[in-house]
Structure 1
Amino acid sequence: MSRPAVLKALWGAAALLLVAGCSSGGGGGGGAPSGTAPATASATASAPAAAPTATRDGRVTVAGTLTEGLVSPWGLARLPDGDLLVSSRDERTVTRIDGRSGAKTSLGEVPGVVQGGEGGLLGLAVRDDWVYAYLTAAFDNRIVRMRYGGGEGDRLGAPDPVLTGIPKGFVHNGGRIAFGPDGMLYAGTGETGRTGLAQDRSSLGGKILRMTPEGRPAPGNPFPDSVVYSYGHRNVQGIAWDDAGRLWAAEFGQDTWDELNLVRPGRNYGWPTVEGRAGRAGFVDPVAQWKTSEASPSGIAYARGAIWMAGLRGERLWRIALSGTERSGEPEAFLRGAYGRLRTVLAGGDGRLWLVTSETDQRGTPEAGDDRILRLEVN
């Protein structure tokens, strides 16, 4: 079924109110990486468009489109005032999105980003007056941070390295970063197609990393003087914590099984020796697994007692209800094909989610309005 046909079916099943979600125009050019901080970036906000009608798909209500016309959106982070920051993987830019109107303000291009394949400007995180970014540079993947006051007219400062030396490749660069409830910075990395890196604890590839905000090994890490928190991963792009503070991670499989894992310090999650559930001593089995055609998971978020997982190839939003350290029942799928490839999902509290589509990432089939940030309400 085509995306317009799927959307028509969703609209036909809905009987909800108009909401105040707004759309804004696209924009942003590419160009070579800049050698200086984007101090002269334009701060002109685009005008929002008319509000759409809410639609419902079971447990998920699409309350509207917050903004549209984004190019290769990847990372998403929330500012203290409720506005959002979104990164463009291919254009190497950061854009501020007004959390109410959806109006877009360019904060400029991040210097030093080298886009290619699955690399570029990837995950974002915000802490205090810093914006953290996971990016692909000339010789590695790295995490940097940039000063940002967040006021009207403020700009991103020059990027300061936080952690360097993460292996880079044309594929499997990982890229998701987030601050945990312990105040430490976590990052999901990929093995860049060199499968042996996942089992090599001296490498930062194919790992989940845990560090202080300054990039040093976090207190309590399982391996001495190391930022490595867990290993044996293929390509981690989704990390989130539940109400009990447990870390969950979504991981791309190769040809057979994508995974959702409950991550514990120092554990080995199997790649490349095993993919999916194997029941082998020394390896941790996933809590849930999917055929790669049904998921190809990227971002995840926790809300209403469940993990919500965005699927790229699967083009659907998965719900995995949790009961302690296990799932409760079978995973449920929503928005099947309605918006194409889904890249990032971020929790906004009170059952609200933001969902980022990914049709302009060179693997999708863009249609009018792509890419967009959707406003969801879940139960």
Structure 2
Amino acid sequence: MHRPGALAAACLLAALSARCGGSAASGDGAAAPGCTLVEDGWGPAGTVPIRVERVATGLEVPWAIAFLPGGDALVTERPGRIRLLRGGALEAEPVATVPVVAEGEGGLLGIAADPGFAENRRFYTYHTADEDGRRVNRVTRWLLAEDRRSARVERVILDGIPAAVVHDGGRLRFGPDGQLYVGTGDAREPARAQDRGSLGGKLLRVTTEGAPADGNPFPGSPVFLLGIRNTQAFDFLDARTLVVGDHGPSGDTGRSGHDEVDVARAGANLGWPDVYSCDTGEGVTTPAIVWSRAAPPGGGSVYRGEAVPAWKGSFLVGILGARHLHRIVLREDGRVQAHEVYLQGEPPEGLGRVRDVQQGPDGAVWVTTSNCDGRGTCPPEKDVVARIVAR
């Protein structure tokens, strides 16, 4: 695991002690002492000076970014367009258009470039499709043209992922092991999250052909983590340890709020829908941090770049409803050492609803917004791709 910078140990801990509870829980079970419960707001204001540069504007819910060798990037727009960023500018014509069901939280969502992209030009997408009047989520493998201006489908590698108007998951990321990790939602049926036979409410680990990867915790199954409500954020702290953002109940099971970030390893159960907030449960991973008020988390990445040196080793997560970028500093034992809020509010002062968070090949933090998804305030510039560096 990466050690946090000196900033975290100095100026943030005092803010934490004044603003956040360290072990309280508001559920029905026993509270875990290692869980940080944020009872008032979302956390202290960020202390690292940063600068935001808008790389592309005029987009419609740019859900995910996949960087390619050489610095180009593919960007998904939820209505079904794959766009190309080349030389820091958005190409006018889509690389491809995908037929999708773009109602609610569905549509064209995650994207990831193959680890061997330089040789095979393959990438993968997660989208919501119509199958004889029924919604379903699929992971599809694509081949990008040599000039990167068009692409064609090779095959669907994973099908039958539960879909609904909400709780659709959608994040794709390749792990250090070269396997494809797929975040899914419970598609409005909480019991799916605990059912190992369902692809819903899980983090899946599959090969580039869509088969369960060797070494998965449940032999013959693609399930890597279970007990998830709706994850859009996960990344690797090290080769064996992930940090995962998940959405809280938002009214399900008669509860609300309590979005969370967890530190977990293969086979972990994050507890949904049985365990709530900072409560503990037998065989359940207790969150590292929980917000009492609804956040909820969009995309997230462990930052390893040099463009914002003070953030190195932190988990950076986009926050949708609470409209900001959140920085979390984790200790070696997976507990939260410090956390803080950046870019809060609507444009132009803030970025509004932050959806994806990625580290670019330039070492900067790249983010997308979802202000035009029907839940935010869509500004004249529409949604954006932005780049964040130290000021």
Fold similarity call, TM over 0.5: yes
Could you say if the C-alpha distance between residues 248 and 371 of structure 1 is closer, same or farther in structure 2, counting changes exceeding 3 Å? same
Q: Is the 8 A contact 1:60 1:376 kept in 2?
A: no
Does 1:282 find its partner at 2:271? no
Distance between the aligned counterparts of 1:136 and 1:100, measured in 2?
A: 29
Runs of 4+ in 1 over 4 A off after TM superposition: 102-105
Instruction: Kindly state the Cα deviation for residue 364 of structure 1 after the two structures are TM-superposed.
Output: 1.0
In the other structure, the counterpart of 1:334 is: 342
In the other structure, the counterpart of 1:126 is: 113
Q: Is the 8 A contact 1:67 1:103 kept in 2?
A: no
Instruction: Kindly state the Cα deviation for residue 331 of structure 1 after the two structures are TM-superposed.
Output: 1.4
Q: Is the 8 A contact 1:262 1:325 kept in 2?
A: no
Where do residues 17-36 of structure 1 align in structure 2 (5 Å cutoff)? none
Amino acid at match of 2:283: G
Q: Match for 1:93 among 81, 85, 105? A: 81
In the other structure, the counterpart of 2:264 is: 263
Could you say if the C-alpha distance between residues 157 and 271 of structure 1 is closer, same or farther in structure 2, counting changes exceeding 3 Å? same
In the other structure, the counterpart of 1:219 is: 214
Could you say if the C-alpha distance between residues 330 and 234 of structure 1 is closer, same or farther in structure 2, counting changes exceeding 3 Å? same
* Unmatched tracts of structure 2, length 5 or more: 1-44, 250-255, 304-311
Instruction: Kindly state the Cα deviation for residue 274 of structure 1 after the two structures are TM-superposed.
Output: 1.3
Q: TM-score, normalised by structure 1?
A: 0.80
Which whole-Å deviations, capped at 9, do the CAs of 1:173-215 have from their partners, x for residues lacking one? 1000010010000011000111110111100000000011111
Aligned-residue Cα RMSD (Å) equals 1.9
Could you say if the C-alpha distance between residues 215 and 244 of structure 1 is closer, same or farther in structure 2, counting changes exceeding 3 Å? closer
In the other structure, the counterpart of 1:116 is: 103
Amino acid at match of 2:156: P
Q: Match for 1:309 among 317, 326, 335? A: 317
Which whole-Å deviations, capped at 9, do the CAs of 1:64-86 have from their partners, x for residues lacking one? 11110001211211111111111
Q: Is the 8 A contact 1:256 1:275 kept in 2?
A: no
Q: Is the 8 A contact 1:60 1:334 kept in 2?
A: no
Q: Alignment identity in percent?
A: 38
Residue-pair matches, total: 320
Q: TM-score, normalised by structure 2?
A: 0.78
In the other structure, the counterpart of 2:69 is: 80
Distance between the aligned counterparts of 2:105 and 2:259, measured in 1?
A: 18
In the other structure, the counterpart of 1:363 is: 375
In the other structure, the counterpart of 2:156 is: 161
Instruction: Kindly state the Cα deviation for residue 324 of structure 1 after the two structures are TM-superposed.
Output: 2.0
Q: Secondary structure at the match of 2:192?
A: helix
Instruction: Kindly state the Cα deviation for residue 108 of structure 1 after the two structures are TM-superposed.
Output: 2.6
Instruction: Kindly state the Cα deviation for residue 279 of structure 1 after the two structures are TM-superposed.
Output: 1.8
Which whole-Å deviations, capped at 9, do the CAs of 1:140-172 have from their partners, x for residues lacking one? 1110011014525x4111251010111111110
Distance between the aligned counterparts of 1:88 and 1:145, measured in 2?
A: 17
Amino acid at match of 2:71: G
